[in-house]
């Protein structure tokens, strides 16, 4: 589906493309649960096989296989951390996704975002961007909301985005009402809106 300016809105998967959802598309987080689990199992098996080679299969070359087993444990540990991170979050419900899709109009949206900082991760099931308005649908508490807005404001300024309005909407109804209002104002999608979505993608898990 394409907008009137010929650009397909971000976060909307082509109906003909039934492959794995990409970052920013609905269903991305759920798909990462499966792929992250596969990666963890694969790396874990490699580490286990090398460990068996060390003590059972090729004990005469134990030192070599022990070193390889220790080295292989690093990606295994990283895969386990990655799996735990993704399992903490799940994709937006089909009902919420359909409701947003029906009401977002021309507004580009980024789905399944887990915005990460050095201290914390913030889940935003859907983020809409249009004409310097950055809208997040997320059930963050008041403290988390302030922290995330402060982080996004800082990141935006560092990347050359000035005078952006960032708001968090805690319920689907509030978020959709905002989308409807901006659509009714006939606000045009700017090039910087898509650039902002690219930044959101870079900041997301």
- β-pair type (109-116, 121-130): antiparallel
Q: What is the pLDDT of residue 16?
A: 41
Percent of the chain topping pLDDT 90: 54
Q: What is the pLDDT of residue 18?
A: 61
Q: What is the pLDDT of residue 3?
A: 41
Q: What is the pLDDT of residue 33?
A: 87
Q: What is the pLDDT of residue 116?
A: 87
Q: What is the pLDDT of residue 84?
A: 87
**Residue ranges in the chain modelled with pLDDT below 70:** 1-18
The Cα–Cα gap between 89 and 72 comes to 27
Q: What is the pLDDT of residue 189?
A: 87
Q: What is the pLDDT of residue 11?
A: 46
Q: What is the pLDDT of residue 52?
A: 86
pTM of the model: 0.76
* Distances 154 to 66, 150, 171 between C-alpha atoms, Å: 46, 6, 25
């Amino acid at each position: 589906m394409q907008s009137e300016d010929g650009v397909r809105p971000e976060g909307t998967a082509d109906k003909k493309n039934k492959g794995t959802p990409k970052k920013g598309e609905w269903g991305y987080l759920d798909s990462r649960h499966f792929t992250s689990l596969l990666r963890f199992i694969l790396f874990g098996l490699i580490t286990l096989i090398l460990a068996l080679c060390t003590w059972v299969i090729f004990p005469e070359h134990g030192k070599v296989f022990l070193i390889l087993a220790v080295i292989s444990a690093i990606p295994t540990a990283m895969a386990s951390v990655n799996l735990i991170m993704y399992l903490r979050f799940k994709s937006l419900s089909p009902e919420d996704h359909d409701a947003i899709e029906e009401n977002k109009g021309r507004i580009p949206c980024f789905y399944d975002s887990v915005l990460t900082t050095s201290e914390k991760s913030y889940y935003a099931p859907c983020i809409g961007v249009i004409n310097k308005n950055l809208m997040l649908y997320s059930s963050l508490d008041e403290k988390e909301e302030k922290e995330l807005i402060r982080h996004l404001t800082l990141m935006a300024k560092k990347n050359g985005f000035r005078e952006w309005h960032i708001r968090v909407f805690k319920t689907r109804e509030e978020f959709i009402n905002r989308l409807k209002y901006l659509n009714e104002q006939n606000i045009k999608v700017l090039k910087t809106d898509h650039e902002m979505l690219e930044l959101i993608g870079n900041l997301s898990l």
